[in-house]
Amino acid sequence: ALGGQTNYKARIDLRGLASTLTIESDLRGLHSNLPHPFRKAADEAWPLKVTATPELPKDPAARTTRDQIRVVLRDKIRLVLERERVAGAEKLVVRRAALAMNAEPVLQGDGLAVSLDSDLVDVDAWVPFLGDLWQQAGDRNLGKDYLPSNALQPQSVSMRTARLTVAGKELHDVVLGATRIGEFWNANIDSREVQGFFSWRSARSEEH
Give the pLDDT confidence of 41-97 residue by residue, as tens digits.
Answer: 999 999 999 999 998 877 777 777 889 999 999 999 999 999 888 776 677 888 889
Give the pLDDT band (50/70/90) at residue 186.
very high
Alpha helices in 24-158 (DSSP H): 123-137
Cα distance between residue 108 and residue 7, in whole Å: 34
Return all residues near 94 (Cβ < 8 A) that are at least 6 apart.
Answer: 81, 82, 83, 145, 146, 147, 150, 152
Answer with the residue of higher pLDDT: 180 or 132.
180
CA-nearest of 173, 176, 131, 140 to 156 is 176
Q: CB neighbours (10 Å) of residue 95? A: 19
Residue 116: name the closest of 167, 153, 79, 70 by CA: 79
β-strands 111-122, 93-101 pairing: parallel
Q: Where are the alpha helices (DSSP H) in the chain?
A: 123-137
Which residue, 166, 75, 155, 77, is CA-closest to 116?
77
Q: Is the pLDDT of residue 164 over 90?
A: yes
Segment among 91-100, 170-179, 185-194 with least mean pLDDT: 91-100
- The single-letter DSSP state of residue 65 is S
The more confident residue out of 192 and 134 is: 192
Phi, then psi, of 126 in degrees rounded to 5: -90, -20
Q: What is the pLDDT of residue 131?
A: 65
Lowest mean pLDDT across 51-55, 97-101, 113-117, 150-154:
150-154
**Residue 14 or 161, more confident:** 161
Q: Are 126 and 103 in contact (CB under 8 A)?
A: no
Q: What is the model's pLDDT at position 88?
A: 66
Specify the amino acid at residue 18.
Answer: A
Distance of alpha carbon 92 from alpha carbon 128, whole angstroms? 29
